[in-house]
Amino acid sequence: MSLGVKNVEIEPAVRDLRNRTLARLPGDVSRLVYLASSRDLNTGRYSHDGIAFHFSENVASKAMAACHEEIFDRLVYCSLEELIEELQSYISSTAERPGDVLQSWKRLGSYRVTIPSECDEMAAEIFLSNVKIALAILQARQESAFQDGQFA
C-alpha cells in the first residue's frame, strides 16, 4: 500500500502514523473518524503528540492530512457493499448500541465532519451520498433483525 506522498519530508511520519496508530484501528471508517477527530475544526490542523514529538507539529499535521485523504479516497472508491462492512466494523468497535449510533449518524449527519479539507467537492458528494445509502441499508437490516427476534 503506497500513499504516493510527494513530500519526502513527511514520509517517515506517515509510515510511523500508519504502522503505530492507524494499523490498530478496526477498518477505514474507524481510521477516518479518528483522523477527523484529531483535526481542529477552527484551524484545520491535526494534532498527534507522539508524531509531533518525534518529528514536528507541522510534519505531524501534514502526515495526518495525507493519511486522511488517502483513507477518504479509498472509501469514496470502494463499493457500497465494502462501505457497509466498514461502517458495521466501526459501529461494532464503539461501546454504544448499534441502533443508537445509526440513529445519531443519520440524525446529526456526524459523518459530514469526516471529510478532509483538501478533497474535491465531487468526491465529497459521492462519499456523503454513499454513506447515506449505507446507513439506510444498515438500519433496514437492523429493523428486520429486530422484527425477526420479536417473532421468533
Q: Name residues contacting another protein, limited to 33-72 (CB under 8 A).
A: 62, 65-67, 69-70
79 binds another protein (CB under 8 A): yes
Copy the grid coordinates of residue 132.
Answer: 447515506
Listing DSSP states for 49-69 in one string gives HHHHHHS-HHHHHHHHHHHHH
Nearest Cα neighbor of 78 from 32, 143, 19, 140 is: 32
Nearest Cα neighbor of 4 from 73, 57, 75 is: 73
107 binds another protein (CB under 8 A): no
- Beta carbon nearer to another protein, 30 or 130: 130
Q: Which range, of 34-42, 85-93, 101-109, 120-128, touches another protein by CB under 8 A? A: 120-128
**9: DSSP letter:** G
Q: Which residues bind another protein (CB under 8 A)?
A: 2-7, 62, 65-67, 69-70, 73-74, 76-77, 79-81, 118-123, 125-126, 129, 132-133, 136-137, 140
